[in-house]
Amino acid sequence: MVDEVRYYYSKDGTETQGPVNKTALRQLFLDQIIDSGSFICREDESDWQPLDPGIFQSRPMLRPPLRGPRPTQSSPSSGPSRPKLRSFHRNAWYTDTNLLDPRFLRTLNVICVVLTFGGALLAVHLRYVVFADTLRSADSLYEVLEYFAGSAGVIFILPYLFSLFFRYPTRRPALVIGILCVAPLLLWAEYKFFSSDAARHGLFARENSADASDLNVPWRILPNGYIDFAPALLNLQEIKGAASTDNTDMAVVRRDLVVVIDDLMTRLKACNAAAGNCAPFNPLTIGSLDTIKTRLSLISTLRDTQADLDNFLQALVANCRVAVATDDLSSDSLNETIANFRKSARTDQLSALTNITMKISDDETACLTILEQNWGRWHVDNGAISFDDPNALASYNISLQAVQNDIQAVHDLEKQ
C-alpha cells in the first residue's frame, strides 16, 4: 500500500510546520490559516513552492517550483524568500478561498436551480398564459409539465456544456453566467416565435384558428351546455382577411361577401354574449321564485338571438346573391362562389347547431316553467326533485330528459 503524501508548510516563509496530509492541508487552507501566498514542500523532497489550491483537486500545479534550501525551525532566516510575481487584480468574490469554500459552492448551486426553474416557469407562463388566446391550449397537465421540463433542460444543458471549457474552480461561476445569458435569450426567442404566423398555423395552432379547410368543429361547448361560437368567429375573421388581400380575378366578389361575413359575425357575437350570461342549469340550486324568473328572462334573450342567427343562416344564399348582384358573373360562377363560401365558413354545421341550441333553450324553458307553476309544491329529496303532483313530475322528467338529449346531440354533432 502506498503511503499518503504529506507536506511541510510555511505560512509566510519564516517558519516550517508539519508534515500533514493533503486533507489536513486543505482544511488549513479553508480555515485561512494558510493561503496562496504560503509555501509547501513534500515530505520526501527539498524543493519549496508556493501553495496552489489546484492540488486539492488532483490538478498539476501551474506555478514553477521555487528552488531553494528547505527552511528549518532552528534557522528561520534560511527559509525561502517570497517570489516576485506580477500583480494580478481579482474581484473580491473571485478568490481561491471563495471558489473552494463549500458554502460558496452551495450558493452557486442554489442560484443555478433558481435561474433554471424560474426561467422554465416564465417560459410556461409565456406559452400557456400570455399567448393563450392565439395558440393551442394544453391537452393535459402532462403537456405543461413536459414543456416545463424541456425549457429547463435547454436553459441548463447549454450553459453546462459551455462551462466544461473552464477549469475548476471557475467552472461553477461560468455555469451561472451561462444560465443568465441563455434564459433571457430563450424567452425572447419564444416570444418572437409565438408572435409569428408560423406558430399560429403550425404545431401550436389552435384548432379553432386553423385554415378553413382544416376546421371541423366551429364551436366549443360551454359548461352550461350552450355553445361558444368563438372558433367560428376566428374562422370568419381569417376568411375576411384573406378576401381583403386577394389579388385574383375573384377578388372583387370575395370582397363583396365581406358584408355578409360581418352580418354573420354580429349575430354569432350576440349569441355568445347571451349564452355567457346563463349559468349552468341546475334546478337543485334554485332558491327562490325570482331565480326562476331571472333565468327565464335570460333564456328568452338567448332564444331570440338564436332565432335571429337561424333566420340569417336560412337566408344566407339569398344574402350572398344580393351582395354580389353588381358583379358580372355567370350563374355557374356565382353558384360556385357561394358554395365555396358556405363550405369554408361551415354554415351548414352552424345552421344545424343553431337548431339544436334553440331546442335546448325551449326544453330548459319548459323545465323552468313547470317549476314556476308548481312553486311550493315540489322539493329536493336525495339529490332529485319530487313533486306533489305525479303529472307535474312526469312532465318535468320528460323536459329534463329532453335537455340532456339535446346536449348529447351537440356532442354527437361534434364527432361527425
pLDDT number for residue 121: 92
Average pLDDT over residues 49-53: 73
- Does residue 304 carry a pLDDT above 90? yes
pLDDT over 70 percentage in the chain: 73
Residue 152 has pLDDT above 50, yes or no: yes
pLDDT tens-place string over residues 101-115: 677 778 888 898 999
Could you identify the residue written with the cell 510546520? 17
Domain spans, the chain = 1-72, 99-200, 208-415
Work out the pLDDT band at 149, boundaries 50, 70, 90.
Answer: very high
The three-class DSSP label of residue 11 is coil
pLDDT at 311: 92
Summarize the confidence of residues 195-222 as an average pLDDT.
Answer: 51
Average pLDDT over residues 19-40: 78
Q: What is the pLDDT of residue 169?
A: 67
What phi and psi, each to the nearest 5 degrees, are found at residue 405? -65, -35
Distance from C-alpha of 68 to C-alpha of 92, rounded to nearest angstrom: 32
Q: State the pLDDT at residue 61.
A: 43
pLDDT score at 12: 66
Q: What does 266-283 look like in DSSP terms, one character per residue? A: HHHHHHHHHHHTSPPP-G
d(Cα 403, Cα 376) in Å, to the nearest integer? 23
Least confident of 47-51, 131-135, 263-267: 131-135
Backbone dihedral region for residue 382 (phi beyond 0: left; psi -120 to 50: alpha; all else: beta): left
CB atoms inside a 10 Å sphere around CB 335: 14
Average the pLDDT over 286-312 and give the result: 88
Closest by alpha carbon to 312, among 273, 218, 414, 304? 304
pLDDT at 68 over 60: no
What Å distances lie between residue 74 and 1, 11, 14, 153, 249, CA to CA? 34, 16, 10, 60, 107
Q: 413 to each of 6, 354, 406, 408, how far by Cα in Å?
A: 84, 12, 11, 9
Q: What is the dihedral of CA 228, 230, 231, 233, to 10 degrees?
A: 130
pLDDT the model gives residue 335: 80
227 contact partners, CB below 8 Å, separation of at least 6:
219, 220, 221, 271, 275, 353, 357, 410
Contact 256, 324 (CB under 8 A): yes
User: How much of the chain is in helix, strand and coil states, percent to nearest 5?
Assistant: 60, 10, 30
DSSP 339-387: HHHHHHHTHHHHHHHHHHHHHHHHHHHHHHHHHHHTTTSEEEETTEEEE
Q: At what angle do helices 171-194 and 102-125 cross, to 10 degrees?
A: 0
Does residue 177 register a pLDDT over 60? yes
Instruction: Tell me the average pLDDT of the chain.
Output: 75
| Comparison of pLDDT for 136 and 343, the residue scoring more | 343
Q: Which of 113-117, 164-168, 205-209 has maximum average pLDDT?
A: 113-117
- Over range 86-90, report the average pLDDT: 40
Residue 214: pLDDT band (50, 70, 90) is very low
Predicted confidence at residue 116, as pLDDT, reads 92
Q: Is the pLDDT of residue 56 over 60?
A: yes
Question: Which residues are within 8 A (CB) of 338 and not within 5 positions of it... i.e. 6 or more apart?
Answer: 317, 320, 321
Contact (Cβ atoms closer than 8 angstroms) between residue 410 and residue 227: yes
pLDDT grade, residue 81 (50/70/90)? very low
Q: Is the pTM of this model over 0.75?
A: no
Q: Which three cell numbers stand for residue 305?
A: 338571438
For 344-403, the pLDDT digits (tens) are 888 888 888 888 888 888 988 998 898 888 888 888 877 778 888 889 888 888 988 888
Distances in Å between the Cα of 60 and the Cα atoms of 64, 82, 168, 265, 381 are 11, 21, 12, 76, 85
pLDDT at site 284: 72
The answer to which of 82-96, 130-144, 166-180, 221-235 has the lowest mean pLDDT is: 82-96
